[in-house]
Structure 1
């Protein structure tokens, strides 16, 4: 996984995409690290995501109401209304396990609006 096309990196996070659409499970499964101090604008309009924090610290802020939620090991969050939000890393790397529905193909990156577009790939 490390160093393959299934490890996607940006300036603020790194995602290891373990199970993808091509695996036929009906969801995708990822291990993601948010770098300390990193901030990512996210608005999954096409996907639902559940996140389990396993290490580190950070916060999520829902943009509609400005509420902030502390992220630490053991916290699970699921933005079931495609909530637009900020995901911020804290002092330590924030390591999370994520599940997406519909599953990601592995080619997605956030666009300028924080959205993962629907990607149709040949291996789907």
Structure 2
């Protein structure tokens, strides 16, 4: 059994901080679960281009506000507590922080190894997934 508290990740190599988001990677590929599990906080007023070509992601919004816009059709979806979205088609999108920090719980398949950041195309490279 694996038991961890998110506070154990803060300040370690498994907490990735960028100017737009902070990702606390609680379960990773090395844990052997077949997925990774993260708490991410999106900074207010930010915009991040994301296109997970090599991963599927499900996101559960638990605090704050924001917006996701799918690039293919320009659809916009308000994000807030209780909203879940799944990038089941490797959907290219913009993730925007709102007025308050947006705290979300994310699951990735295949699992992340822990140090990934988006490349210039918004992608986590495939080699990082193994």
For the pair 1:102 / 2:120, whether they are aligned, the reply is no
Identify the match of residue 68 of structure 2 among 57, 60, 68. Answer: 60
Aligned-partner SS, 2:73: coil
Q: Name the CA shift for 1:120/1:69 in 2 (closer, same or farther; >3 Å).
A: closer
Corresponding residue of 2:24: 16
Runs of 4+ residues deviating >3 angstroms: none
Corresponding residue of 2:47: 39
In the alignment, structure 1 segments of 5+ residues that lack a partner are: none
Cα RMSD over matched residues? 1.1
Deviations 1:69-117 (A, max 9, x none): 0001000000100010000000000000000000000121100000000
TM-score by length of structure 1 reads: 0.96
- Count of aligned residue pairs for this structure pair: 122
Mapped partners of 2:103, 2:20: distance in 1: 12
Give the Å deviation of 1:119: 3.1
Deviations 1:44-75 (A, max 9, x none): 00000000000000000000000000001000
